[in-house]
Amino acid sequence: MTIIRTTRGRRRMLPVAVLAVLAAGCGTQQSGDTAEATRRSHPTPSGTSTPSPPGDFPCPGESPTPTPPPTADTSGPAASGDHYAENHGFRVPFPLHGQRRCDGLTAVGRIEAALEPLRKRGDFAPDHTRSALTGLGYPAGKVRSYENGPTGVGFLIEVDASPLCVEGTMDRDSTRAESFGGYPDHYGCETPSGGH
């Protein structure tokens, strides 16, 4: 019978011990120095962590110091204090970094070189531009060309599904193209029409 009493005693102590352990950390307050030391040794994750972009390095044919990515224009309504930039952030494309940036610069160079003969001839027909771009091997379903003013053409190409996008214009004065990595909250290279 002594064994039965000891087992019953242990069963009664178990809930008390569990409650004591759970209550030990509740309601305790640390001094400022102790709390700060705890935060340093055990940092609490804050929100969603975003990985830092890979380091940029000179791409083949580029000077040793890469040009910084373009910054958002702050001269518009956002500068006046409203939330235009915040509300339209979904329309700001992702910049490319690391090897992806080099891949984008290579694509831009190929595209500008393919379109330059059309520009010199003054041929700004969207169909001819599209033909020149598909002639580089880009699938027809991933190439878009359109009239851009009375004497110009615009184009958008989804180079790969990552996405690596190239967008630009061609007119009498120049052929300009830029590469980017798609848009937030949107798949593909088309500029999104709405965000959240």
User: Does residue 76 carry a pLDDT above 60?
Assistant: no
Q: What Cα–Cα distance (Å) separates residue 93 from each residue in 50, 139, 164, 165, 185?
A: 17, 22, 11, 10, 11
Structural domain containing residue 131: 93-180
Number of domains in the chain: 1
Strand duo 164-171 + 152-160: pairing: antiparallel
**Digit-coded pLDDT (tens) for 87-133:** 667 778 999 999 999 999 999 999 999 999 999 999 999 999 999 99
Is 157 inside a domain boundary? yes
Asked, for residue 137, whether it belongs to a domain, the answer is yes
Decide if pLDDT at 136 tops 70: yes
Considering the entire predicted model, what is its pTM? Answer: 0.62
Q: Does the residue 48 lie in any domain?
A: no
Q: Is 165 exposed, middle or buried (0-12, 13-18, 19+ CB in 10 A)?
A: buried
